[in-house]
Amino acid sequence: MNDLYQALPDQILNWKAYCKDEIYNRETIFKYIDGGGELYLTYGFKQVYVRRYVNPDHEEIILDIYDMGSSADAFGIFSVEREGEEAGFGQGSEYGGGLLRFWKGRYFVSIIAMGDEQKSKPAILELAKRVAALIEPGSKPSLLKFLPAEGLIENKISYLHSYIPLNNLYFIASENILHLGPKTDCLWAAYRVNNGQTAYFLLIKYADQRKAAEAYENFIKIYMPEAFPSGLAQMENKKWTAAKVTKNMVAVVFESPQKKWALKLLSLLNPQKSDFG
């Protein structure tokens, strides 16, 4: 990372770097992100490098470069809070309200204006361009290839490991009933159903088939006991939840307006792929 830091520009347009750059690691992250560091710790976060820029009017731009340990986790931390449209930086980005976020390689980058957004926007965009050019691209999580393509909303896919960000996306339970942790890879994706409604698909890869079976049984027992042994239940809101375990993966469909659509989506998960498991 030192090579990356040393290559960062000291000046962007009329904004100049000032004060000493800061670095926070897994032990000190809460000193920088009070109350928000827990999310980063659910990924392979290593450290964040902080540089501050100021213009002649003493307005500030803050550059954060997070080393997430892997390109999959850099994509993940970006994906769980993504809200806007693609902004054209790195391997995925968004811009709005004076905040630009992107991921590339194993890095997640955040650039935020602390003053006038319109005045700072040209510098933010130029800084993002310069930083992105310094980073080698990486790969998205391999689990993505197992998502069924039909109806998938491409910018509504999130990658995670812990039940904490999952509950932020869709509350399932206050306890970790799916046995998620550092060694589980999860995808949460939104799908457009034929009638224009939205349903959700959760795909979890476990370390082995035994752990997947245990998590599936615990989920059914606690979340929808009426679904045993079929894995299918109509919830109180009249929508359908369907689940299945296949080898070392558990798949769950939530909020499906139609029973047949939920079952169809589960059927599209192909366990016969040569690289499954």
> Is 125 in the same domain as 183?
no
Residue 273 lies in a domain: no
Residue 275: pLDDT over 90: no
User: Taken in order 165, 32, 23, 57, is the CA torsion positive or negative?
Assistant: positive
Q: Which residues 6+ apart lie within 8 Å of 167 measured at CB?
A: 173, 174
Place of tokens 């850099």: 74
**Start-to-end C-alpha separation, the chain:** 33
Instruction: Please tell me whether the peptide bond between 229 and the residue prior to it is cis, using omega within 30 degrees of 0.
Output: yes
- Clarify whether residues 146 and 112 are in a common domain: no
Assigned domain for 88 exists: yes
Name the domain count of the chain: 2
Residue 206 domain-assigned (yes or no) = yes
The verdict on 149 and 262 lying in the same domain is yes
Residues 177-221: tens digit of each pLDDT: 999 999 999 999 999 997 789 999 999 999 999 999 999 999 999
Same structural domain for residues 104 and 174? Answer: no
Same domain? 31 vs 114: yes
pLDDT, tens only, 213-254 = 999 999 999 999 999 889 999 999 999 999 999 999 999 999
The per-residue DSSP string of 194-209 comes to: TTS-EEEEEEEE-SSH
CATH of the domain at 48: 3.40.1000
257 and 170 in a single domain? The answer is yes
- Considering the domain architecture, whether residues 125 and 170 belong to the same structural domain is answered as no
Query: What share of the chain in percent tops pLDDT 70?
Result: 97
Q: What is the pLDDT of residue 253?
A: 97
Structural domain containing residue 88: 2-133
Residue 207's nearest CA partner among 246, 248, 176 is 248
Same domain, 242 and 156: yes
What pLDDT, on a 0 to 100 scale, did the predictor assign at position 256? 96
- Judgement on whether residues 108 and 157 belong to the same structural domain of the protein: no
Residues 35, 69, single domain; the answer is yes
Please tell me whether residues 209 and 174 are part of one structural domain: yes
State the pLDDT confidence band at 16, using cuts at 50, 70 and 90: very high
pTM confidence score: 0.93
pLDDT at 134 (0 to 100) = 97
